[in-house]
Amino acid sequence: MKQWQAYFCFWESWLWLYMFRHKLSVREPSKVQQCPMVARELGETARGAKRGGSGTPTTAVYGSPNAMGCNMLTNKTRCPDSLLLPLILHAQQAIGIKTAIAVLITQAHTERVTGYATRGLTVKVSLPKCRYDAIECAYRFWRVLLHEFGHIKDYGTSLPFVYYRAGRVNRMAHDTRPQEVRANQYVADVQERIARGELAGCGNDILALAVWLDS
């Protein structure tokens, strides 16, 4: 009898240890999962789109052609174009870009969103890999789009630009460079216009991308 009791106590102790260790690594429900409205209205569409993603780089024309040509999107992620294009178009129109733009979306390996813009009218932005807050990741992706389109807006002007040069001793910090200050102000202006109702927001498009990132 004592042998069976010892055997039972051993397996009971092992089971409690197993449950305790895995409880610490369980991912808490995200804000997207905690919102029934988002799950009901956007969840099925976004998850269905993910199942259809091939991961193969694609190139597509978007928006209306203008005198400068056509806008081009190169998507190197598994996220469908249908979830990216509404945010790209909104950011481009909110900043007031009227020239043809080439947009490249790549996949990041962290939640950090990075981007850059060139005088050749090319914008590159990374799609974050969500681990905790999908809504915040999607929101940052939209803000970086606005920021980089702000640089595109300035490239056709005579406004001052300051760049990093190797060997320069007293180089300006990135966030204090005039072009970065202007781009951040463009983003703030767009958010203020949305808050005042002067510009349509893209909350549903951000939530749709957040659902996809969270799935």
Residue 17 within a domain: no
Please give the radius of gyration of the chain, using alpha carbons only, rounded to the nearest integer. 23
Residue 64 within a domain: yes
pLDDT at residue number 47: 44
Q: Is the pLDDT of residue 15 over 90?
A: no
pLDDT at residue number 18: 45
Q: Is the pLDDT of residue 111 over 50?
A: yes
| Band (144; pLDDT cuts 50, 70, 90) | very high
Residue 21 within a domain: no
What CATH number does the domain containing 159 carry?
3.40.30
Residue 187 within a domain: yes
Residue 205 within a domain: yes
Q: ∠ CA 189-121-78 to the nearest 5 degrees?
A: 85
Residue 84 within a domain: yes
Q: Pairing state of beta strands 69-75 and 58-66?
A: antiparallel
Per-residue pLDDT, averaged over 40-44, amounts to: 42
What pLDDT, in 10s, does the model give residues 147-167? Answer: 999 999 988 777 767 666 655
Q: Are 130 and 111 in contact (CB under 8 A)?
A: yes
Number of domains within the chain: 1
Residue 43 within a domain: yes
String of DSSP letters for the chain: -HHHHHHHHHHHHHHHHHHHHHHHTPPPPPTTTT-HHHIIIIIHHHHHHHHH---S-EEEEEEEEETTEEEEEEE-SSS-HHHHHHHHHHHHHHHT--S--EEEEEE-SSS---EEEETTTEEEEEEP--SS-HHHHHHHHHHHHHHHHHHHHHHTS--------TT-SSPPPGGGSHHHHHHHHHHHHHHHHHHTTSS---HHHHHHHHHHHH-
- Percent of the chain at pLDDT exceeding 70: 64
Q: Which residues contact 61 (CB under 8 A, 6 or more apart)?
A: 70, 71, 72, 73
Q: Is the pLDDT of residue 33 over 50?
A: no
Domain residues for the domain of 180 are 36-163+172-214
Residue 11 within a domain: no
Residue type, 24: L
Provide the terminal-to-terminal Cα distance of the chain, rounded to the nearest Å: 50
